[in-house]
Each structure stands twice: as structure tokens, then as C-alpha cells.
Amino acid sequence: MGQCRAMNDASKQTVTGGDVLVDTLIAHGVDTAFTVSGESFLAVLEALRRKRNQIQLVTTRHEGGGAFATEAYGKLTGRPAALFVSRGPGATNAAIGVHTAKQDSSPMLLFVGHIPSTSQGREAFQEIDQAAMFAPIAKAVLQPNTGAQIAAVTACAVALSTAGRPGPVVVVLPRDLTDGAVDSHDVPAFSARPAVAPDQSALDQAAARIMAAKRPLLLSGEIVAIQDATRDLMALAEAMGAPVMTTYRRQDTFPNEHPAYAGHMEINRLPYQQQALEDADLLIAVGSRMDGITSADGTVPGKHQALLQIYPEGEVLARCQADQTLLSDPGAACRALAGCLQPMDTAWRDGLHRSYLDSSEPGAVEVRGAVDLSLVAKDVQRLVPPDTVILTDGGSFARWIHRFYRFGQAHTQAGPVSGAMGYGVPGAIGARLARPDQAAIAFVGDGGFMMTGQELVTAVEQNIDLVVVVCDNSVHGSILEGQRQRFGVEQIYGTRLTSPNFADLARSYGCAAWTVRDSAEFADALLGAMSHTGPALIHLLTDDRDIAPFDKGPDAV
């Protein structure tokens, strides 16, 4: 009898703070997590093991890779995944993804296993003031002070990551709290993100301003993507008869073949776009925070034109200081405005769309090397399913894809607005987990691949189908081009790279691989990579004379 009682007592597992945290995540809809494991959150790992049928855990090889995968997941689903890292080096490595999520308005959760609460403030082993470090780049930094607070803090973090303007939330987890027993296992009930509806008087004022404009131009931004408001924006554009430009790296927020589409607000603006921005008397920023590239470092809007900004967070509206603001989710505002506007003459709109189509055809840019990235983009367009997620890493090569690939569906683009190199490979992992029914192709430069390319091993381990195209010109392209233009070709310094044979490297990771030296070889390589089960890599040897598809190379990535 005594032996049976002892066995029953042993079978009762102590509920730890780690258990409560994982149960709260599951209850609040988080079903995917990434990690580079650490001893400071062992109880959390044990809880994830127990609940592995309810929340998937993917172990990446570097915290920066895990952070990029987590960001891409949030960007493409509108809901956060979780990243678990250790204190000190783990947290600092993950910071690049937190910054990326902040600038991209992507929901993301970062949990940092920390030193015991009794040791804080003594510069203990690997101790960092997490709040001070992450405050400028995170939406919030939270920390439970007792085990009883873990559930509430975790629930708050999930809610904050999607509220208003979405973004990354960091939760600091003292080890003694996640290891310790928790008496109460109550998990706060999940509540959906509250909608931000437009005020009627503000809507009336916005409608009046739009109807008074002669040449209004719509700018489609990040919240259109995150809230899946493309159809509502299309309805507004069609009701107005107005053109639409997509903001930086948000080309999938409006179908590029639509007659209202006027192109992408890339780092380099094409002449017809520059003219359109001059001719417009009203810019309507729909779900865009008017980031630095979209606004050309604050020079858009110009002094001659008004800005109407539609955004669901007052802090962004206050910072931008538009001539008129509409605090609202973009979909609700677009639907309301579409119902009360009259279409204008579409001649201007139609002319801009024709200019876009002409500018996005191969042959629009002189190519000197054997690989023409405009033809590569068109091969991808022709050969892959239209819902394929196209990811572009930081680097000038990405502008070829941005210019010549036409996005036709929502949730098919991912790339860092911050220009963070190393995004592509781990981002593709996050994309495939976020949208498992859609293929993913990541374009990454040789420099970016050398930062996080080892995450291909993660894809091999998880048996994730994805394709990585390494655009290898053996230089840091945009920086070299800036040197070439400013100082002359003889003064190029610190921007040339020596890289491995990327195809051989990929095979050593367990991937299939192809090498392409001429544009004509790419289609067969792509078909082979797409038909392969598991990750595949195409080593694309490009020419450093073809840095970007514009007459003048810029000095930014």
C-alpha cells in the first residue's frame, strides 16, 4: 500500500513556471517556436517537450537565424511565433531580428532565459540589462517578478505583439521563476485584437480632401499586409480610379498586374515614379508608417502636396505629422471611403501602369555579365506557383527581383525593411512554417549567405522544402558601387569577398545544389530545385558590373 502511494505521488509532476508559460502560449494561439537552447530556461524546454504535439519547436544554429525565422513567420501570418534564447550572448545575437521586426511592424515574441532574480544587478555571469538593451528596438520589454505573474505577463506579451502597430515584445525570464513551482495554474483567457474603427467625422474630412484632390496617389504599406487588407485597398483604388504605389518591400499588398498599380517605392525611383510623385497633389498612406526609404528620408511628401495617413496607432500618426490623419485599421477605412467616393478620370493612372509594365520587362536595363537577373526573375515568375513566397535578403541584388518580378497575391513577399543581411535563409524557414502550403524561394547575396547560411542544416534536419538562390558577385555590392561612383574604381577597398563554392557547401549540409553561370541555365536548375524534396540551393554566378538595375548605384542596401 505504501509503495503504491509513493508511486502515485511520484507520478504527480510539479507545475513549474515553464509549464505555465508554455500553456499560456498555447492558449493564446502560439503554435510555433524557435530556439538556440540554453541552460537558463531548461524548465521551459521540458514544458515544450511535453507539449510538442501542440507547439512546434525548431532548433536553429544561431540566435540571429532564429530571430529572422521568427520575424518572417509573424510577417506572413499576422500572429507571433516565439523565440527562446539564453541571456547575454544569446540575447545580443537575437537583437538583429528584434530590430528587423520593429522596423517591419512584425509581431514577434522573444523570451530571454535570465539569471536568477536574486543575482540581478551584480553583473553576474552573462548578465545584461535586458530592458535597457531592447527598449529602443522592441515594442515592450516585460519581466515577471514572481512565478504567479508568468501567465499574465506572457498573455500580455502576446496581446501587445499584435495590438495597434504590431511589433516585437521581449520577455525576460529569471531562471528561478521558470524553474520554480507555481501554485496557481490559471491561464488568462485569450481575447482577440480589438479592431480600430475610423471616426465618422474623420472619415468625412478624409473623403472631402480626397474628392478635392486632382491627382491623389495611394501608397500601400505594411499594415495592409499584416491585416490582409489588400481587397479593401483594391476596392478603394477602383472607387477612386487612382494609382497605387507599394511602399518599400510591400509589393504583395497590391496585385502588380492591376491597372491601378504604379510600381514599388524602391531605394531608386524610376523617372516615371519621380514625375508621379511630383504631379500628385495628395498622397494617401494606407497602413504605412512612411519608413525612411519610402519617404526618401523625409522628403516625401513634398512641400507642394498634402499627406493623408491611415494607421491604427496614434504614436505613428503623431510622429509623421501628416496634414490629416485617420486612426483606423486600413481595411475598415478603405471600405468606408470606397462607399462614398466618385471615380476620377483614369488616364493618369493608366499611363503610370503602362510605364510600370514597360520598366519591369527584361531589356529595360543594360546587362554586362552572363547572368541577367531580370531574366532570372521572369523565369521564376513563369515556372513557380503564383502563391510562392519570394524572400529577398539585404543587398542590391534584391532590387532586380523587386523590379522584374510581379507579385500577384497577398502574403507572397518577405524581406527586411531594415536591410539586415542574413535574413534570406532563416526567413525562408520561417516562411515555410508560416505558410506550409506555399513554396518559398530566398534570394540572398554571397555576403548575406555567409552570415546565416548554416541554417540550411536546420532545414535539412526539419526536412523543409525551400530553394535558396545565392547571387554571388564576390563583393558587397551596394558599398562597392558607392565607392566606385564617389572615389573611382581604383579606390575600391574593403568590399571584395572570397567565398567558398556555395554548391559544394550546400551539398556538405545535405542539400541538393546547382551552379548557374549563364541566364539560359537557370530555368532547368530552378525546375530541378523545385522538384527536389528538402532544401535546395542554386549558386548563381553574377557580375559585379551589374550591381543594381538602375543607371546610378545608391549608397544603401
What CATH number did the domain enclosing 78 receive? Answer: 3.40.50.970
Tell me how far apart the alpha carbons of residues 239 and 157 are, in angstroms, rounded to a whole number: 39
Tell me how far apart the alpha carbons of residues 390 and 403 are, in angstroms, rounded to a whole number: 13
Residue 56 above 50 pLDDT?
A: yes
- The answer to the question of residue 156 being in a domain is yes
Which three cell numbers mark 429? 524557414
pLDDT score of 194: 93
Residue 23 above 90 pLDDT?
A: yes
Tell me how far apart the alpha carbons of residues 442 and 157 are, in angstroms, rounded to a whole number: 30
Residue 528: half-sphere exposure toward Cβ, Cα within 13 Å: 15
- The answer to the question of residue 190 being in a domain is no
Alpha helix ranges (H) inside 311-395: 314-320, 330-338, 347-359, 373-383
pLDDT score of 6: 42
- The answer to the question of residue 551 being in a domain is no
What pLDDT, in 10s, does the model give residues 126-139? 668 888 899 999 99
One domain for residues 394 and 444: yes
Write out the residue range of the structural domain in which residue 167 sits: 14-179
What pLDDT, in 10s, does the model give residues 164-187? 999 999 999 999 999 999 988 889
Count the domains in the chain.
Answer: 3
Which pLDDT band holds residue 101 (cuts at 50, 70, 90)?
very high
State the first-to-last Cα distance of the chain, in angstroms, to the nearest integer: 72
Tell me how far apart the alpha carbons of residues 133 and 512 are, in angstroms, rounded to a whole number: 40
Residues 6+ apart with CB under 8 A from 439: 384, 385, 387, 388, 389, 465, 466, 467, 530
Q: Mapping DSSP to helix (H, G, I), strand (E, B) and coil, where does residue 311 land?
A: strand
One domain for residues 510 and 439: yes
What CATH number did the domain enclosing 235 receive? Answer: 3.40.50.1220
pLDDT score of 425: 98
